[in-house]
Amino acid sequence: MLRSFKPQLSIAKNLLFKRNQSVWASVEKAPADKILGLTVLYNQDKNPEKINLGVGAYRDNEGKPWILPSVKLAEEYLSKNEENKEYVPIVGSPNFNKLIKNLLFNNDKNGKILLENDRIVTSQGISGTGSLRVLGEFVKKFHNNDNVLVPNPTWANHIAILERSGLKTDKYKYYNFINNGFDKDGMLNDLSNAENGSIILLHACCHNPTGVDPNLNDWDDILNKISEKNLLPILDMAYQGFGSGNPINDLNILFKFNEAIVNGKLSNFMLSQSFAKNMGLYGERVGSLSIITKDSDESIRVKSQLEKIIRPLYSSPPSHD
């Protein structure tokens, strides 16, 4: 008689084991981030002469983090004058967005035209990474092509951000690994063979990770090809000011895109922008995203849909930006 109970006892034990087992038991350990993982290894290294060549960040002569005096003054001002901690609007502080538009688009005649015609929708973003993710979500929802061309090589997180947004990525030639320079012919050839209407990710300046940028004449040829293939450009600008030493001079590529819009060569482009590097605001995650539209009516509609995308992601950005 006891023998007939053994299968039931075995089943009961298995059920009890499964009931007590963590639902995360099958989760595997992920590999460390290629960039941030270097910082972990650096911190673990006991060598007193070690140098951190991983994450680019301001450091003093002793290798310790350094905060810009202007940032300290701003924090001091806020601590004395801030009156509330209320939620900011979904697309961020109106004053912040106004200042961002002024910085980015009010320094060339074509940018001013876009501003005057309300053709720029700007939103405060969670630095450049969060801004690009929002743009990816927007493109996935409203663009009729979900293929994004990215340079080879590009910042390691670019592909992850775009693919987590539901987009597909493909690489175009950018860096000549033999002569360590810009592969203009290879890039233009790949763009010629790209599917019409694809999205293209471009570094506005200080290409990461190569540091190699096209010159202004190269950008004219790139823009011609983008126009010919009706590509939707996303400019990623994480190092404004580090190319020429002047943040306004590093907008020269943006000025060319503004001109292309005003002259009808391009219909739209998008921009993700960050103050993490140039202002040393890494932990504050200060950035913005901008979308160029056809007219003021389209801007109203685009802004309303941006709010719908941002709301379930993080609701609204930090007020200290």
254 and 111 in contact (C-beta within 8 Å)? yes
Q: d(Cα 144, Cα 267) in Å, to the nearest integer?
A: 15
79: left (phi over 0), alpha (psi -120 to 50) or beta: alpha
277 is catalytic: yes
Of these residues, 101, 173, 256, 277, which one is catalytic?
A: 277
Instruction: Return the closest-CA partner of residue 106 out of 95, 120, 96.
Output: 120
Of these residues, 183, 236, 250, 321, which one is catalytic?
A: 236
Q: d(Cα 219, Cα 215) in Å, to the nearest integer?
A: 6
Q: Do the bridges between strand 270-274 and strand 232-237 make them parallel or antiparallel, or are there none, so unpaired?
A: parallel
184 is catalytic: no
155 is catalytic: yes
269 and 294 in contact (C-beta within 8 Å)? no
User: Would you say the C-alpha torsion 308, 311, 314, 318 has a positive or negative sign?
Assistant: positive
270 and 292 in contact (C-beta within 8 Å)? yes
Find the helix or strand (DSSP H, E) in which 43 lies. Answer: helix 36-44
233 and 226 in contact (C-beta within 8 Å)? yes
Q: d(Cα 282, Cα 194) in Å, to the nearest integer?
A: 35
293 and 140 in contact (C-beta within 8 Å)? no
185 and 178 in contact (C-beta within 8 Å)? no
- Active-site amino acid positions: 155, 236, 277
